[in-house]
Structure 1
Amino acid sequence: MSLREIKPGNRGYLYVNSHPTGCRAVVDDMWRQTPDPTGDDRPGPVTLVIGSSAGYGLAATLVGLRTHRMRGLGIAFESPATERRTAGAGWYRTARTAELAAETGADFTFLNGDAFSDEVKDEAVDQLAARFGMIDLLVYSIAAPRRTDPVTGEVHHSVIKPIGTDYRAKTLVFEDGVPQIGEMCLRAADEAEREATVQVMGGTDWRMWIDALQSKDLLADGFRTVALSYVGSDITAPIYRAGTIGAAKQHLEDTARAINTRLQGTGRAHTVVAGAAVTQASTAIPSIALYTGILHRVAGDSWQTTVDQAAALWNRLAGDAGLDVDDQDRVRLDDWEMNPEVQAAVRAIWDRSDTDSIAATADTSWFRDQVGRLYGWNVPGVDYEVAAETTVPWPTPAPCGI
């Protein structure tokens, strides 16, 4: 037991600690947003979610558990609490997700480890084989700063940079809680940086997961796999889709086609283009904070949360809505964001945005609060003056058949 009074410690959008009670409340709030269970009482698809503790991976896990009765395994890479620091926010979110799964009777477990490693792949494959035999669905949702190649041992580091030319990016910053417009000059990436980012954020590891599962004959007939991606606006294109991250996303899409060739008609792979969201990954990208704050103001009631989008994706995967794809074979969840009228309104505000007007034209306070929620802070109803238990165990799977 380790009860502590915790205060938020952050530099900009990066928090060095998380709040267990707040993280639990965030998961509960997301759980309430998920649609009610379907009328069919049969067990849901056996699913492997890689990146189940945050962002769209967490949302897909919660919707899969509550609405579609999925079974299977979630994988995350989270740090436990120490004498000096709290556990990572994803650790606490996973602990609560496991409790909710148990309450529904779901046969779903969690593995903590580096999904890029052969060791975690082997352990996951063994668990799935022992518990379920075959899997129906793999959701791949990883955003990481580095990846160690399990074959060569080389450590690749991703960078967020434009390609071709330098780029001056508008940024949203807060000085003593007051929103201000700043500017950041980003140097163009060299070829080594572009390639390293592709190695981390592209489709290489996704394909290796398919290979690991296929080598053990664990892919059920009609198997499907999806990898989460993003396209975004032409406003953010220089630093996103036309930058190093965009090169990685293009590799992800190319990998989907390669996986389809490997599956030879026994299954299908697709990338899923999600809409904008406030995630731990997106807050690291210059311009995204300002863009998202403006977009949230413009979109209003049409704004789609990660849970909204995960529910739409699951409906398509379950066959309720059909798996419509675009001309590049991608599943699109971003129509609300890419609506031409929405984009025109965002562009108009973006072009004239300055420190004097930004608080009135963008949802800056909302954005700042959303960033805090990623770590369990700024959650309504949580008393942050009360000591919280920081030493929370990683969920232990029940024996097979329980």
Structure 2
Amino acid sequence: MIKVKINQKLNGNLARSVNPYGCRQNVLNQIAYVQEKGHYDGAKKALIIGGSSSYGLASRITAAFGQGADTIGVSFERPPRDEKMLGTAGWYNNIYFRQAAESVGLIGKNFIGDAFTEDMKQQVIDYIKQNFGGKIDLLVYSVAAPKRTDPNDPDNVWRSVIKPVKKEVTGFNIDLEKEMLFKQTIEPATKKEIDDTKHVMGGEDWEIWIDELKRAGVLSSGFKTILYSYIGPRSTYAFYHEGTLGLAKDSAEISKKHIQENINDLNGEALISASRAVTTKASIVIPIFPLYCIALYKIEESTGTHEIPIVHKDRLFRDMVYGNFRKIDQEGRLRPDSLEQDKEIQERVSKLMQKITPDNFKTDLTGYAEFRREFLQINGFDIPGIEESEIDLDELTKLRP
């Protein structure tokens, strides 16, 4: 038996440790939330691409414990290796989700690997045919990746960046390790960086998944598929709506149209949903965005409209994808972010952002405490009721996804 101390470690805005028991409790808490909301009619066989954390995990949980769906999750995660490398949070999320799903008689199959590759797509197709009833009726595409290999040229690797376009942008960011506010300047993306980000973060691979699944005959009549986007307020446009990520999501709109044409004969539906701002591993490294979040969270606290991923995605599927309360914009996108984008809330957020300084950002003026807590909880820390100070490494290495 090898006992390892659990220590919360941050390197700037990167987490260098994980609490597996906290991850387990975090998964169970999300399941309990969905179960309390009750069952609703939806998918029966769901495939979640990028289902090990944040929006993808929340989507998988509401599919399984809200809709009663068997699920397949595809994600790229690392297992525990030794005392210094205990694995990634997503590794444990996958395991504890599967255990919970199986405990109520549901399939919770996990595929660990690169979702962009042809080999992974074929593995999933084979599994659907042989062990999953032959067809799926929902595919959620929730992938945030740093790179993707060109499927037509294995020597060419596209790398995504979160940058502004045409002009440099300077704004405040938050260093969670040192708990300080600092100014950061990001140079504009090059044409290659823009193109690469479209290849990685756009809808290209989403399209390929649907093409191959349909060709294999594993999409059911009435099949639905959804990809997540983000628009946000004007204060974040430089990196999102008008930056490299925004351009990538614009390309996803084109993919959506292609997919819809492809699944019309199945009476299928291709959707893009504009998600709300949440604390993620990716979002906290973007200048201005953390400042916006701590202002937003404070205002939402007073209005009762703050949503963590499970609350947001359960509402999306329960009310909009499978319910009768769809909010759709003129481009045809689902808009569950309408609570965040409420005009009065955004006006209050903008005013608050002007008041935040390096000296007061940690006070009750802002929602910094909630923002930091949500980041730590991604990796299993600061979870109520979890007090373990050490783990059994032998026990962890025996767990399988």
Match of 2:362 in 1: 359
8 Å CA contact retained: 1:37, 1:66: no
Match of 2:397 in 1: 391
Return 109-118 or 164-173, whichever deviates more: 164-173
Give the 3 Å change call, closer, same or farther, for CA 393–387 of structure 1 in structure 2.
Answer: closer
Q: Work out the CA distance in 2 between the residues paired with 1:322 and 1:366.
A: 29
Q: Work out the CA distance in 1 between the residues paired with 2:279 and 2:392.
A: 25
Q: Work out the CA distance in 2 between the residues paired with 1:315 and 1:138.
A: 16
Give the 3 Å change call, closer, same or farther, for CA 160–359 of structure 1 in structure 2.
Answer: same
Match of 2:314 in 1: 311
Does residue 215 (structure 1) correspond to residue 218 (structure 2)? The answer is: no
Q: Deviations over 1:257-300 (max 9, x none)?
A: 12112223421111111111112222232222111111110011
Write out aligned runs for 1:92-241 (5 A): 92-130=92-130, 131-153=132-154, 154-174=156-176, 176-177=178-179, 180-241=180-241
Please list every run of 5 or more consecutive structure 1 residues that lacks an aligned counterpart in the other structure: 396-402
8 Å CA contact retained: 1:5, 1:388: no
Return 221-230 or 103-112, whichever deviates more: 103-112
Does residue 27 (structure 1) correspond to residue 27 (structure 2)? The answer is: yes
Could you tell me the TM-score, scaled by structure 1's length?
A: 0.93
Does residue 374 (structure 1) correspond to residue 374 (structure 2)? The answer is: no
Q: Deviations over 1:106-146 (max 9, x none)?
A: 12311111101111000001101112111111001010111
Q: Work out the CA distance in 2 between the residues paired with 1:175 and 1:6.
A: 17
Write out aligned runs for 1:249-264 (5 A): 249-264=249-264
Could you tell me the TM-score, scaled by structure 2's length?
A: 0.93
Match of 1:400 in 2: none
Q: Work out the CA distance in 2 between the residues paired with 1:223 and 1:58.
A: 20
Match of 2:58 in 1: 59
Q: CA deviation at 1:71?
A: 1.3
Q: CA deviation at 1:8?
A: 2.0
Q: CA deviation at 1:38?
A: 4.9
Q: Work out the CA distance in 2 between the residues paired with 1:29 and 1:164.
A: 43
SS in 2 for 1:224: strand
SS in 2 for 1:185: strand
8 Å CA contact retained: 1:6, 1:388: no
Q: Deviations over 1:131-188 (max 9, x none)?
A: 21111110010101111122211211111110011111221234644xx331111111
Return 359-368 or 270-279, whichever deviates more: 359-368
Over the residues paired in the alignment, what is the CA RMSD in angstroms?
1.9
Q: Work out the CA distance in 1 between the residues paired with 2:208 and 2:163.
A: 26
Match of 1:341 in 2: 344
Q: Deviations over 1:71-99 (max 9, x none)?
A: 13111110011123101110011111011
Q: CA deviation at 1:317?
A: 5.9
SS in 2 for 1:162: coil
Percent of matched pairs sharing the same residue: 29
Give the 3 Å change call, closer, same or farther, for CA 61–2 of structure 1 in structure 2.
Answer: farther
8 Å CA contact retained: 1:273, 1:330: yes
The size of the alignment, in residue pairs, is 392
Amino acid at match of 1:203: G
Give the 3 Å change call, closer, same or farther, for CA 242–367 of structure 1 in structure 2.
Answer: same
Q: Work out the CA distance in 2 between the residues paired with 1:229 and 1:43.
A: 22
8 Å CA contact retained: 2:197, 2:244: yes
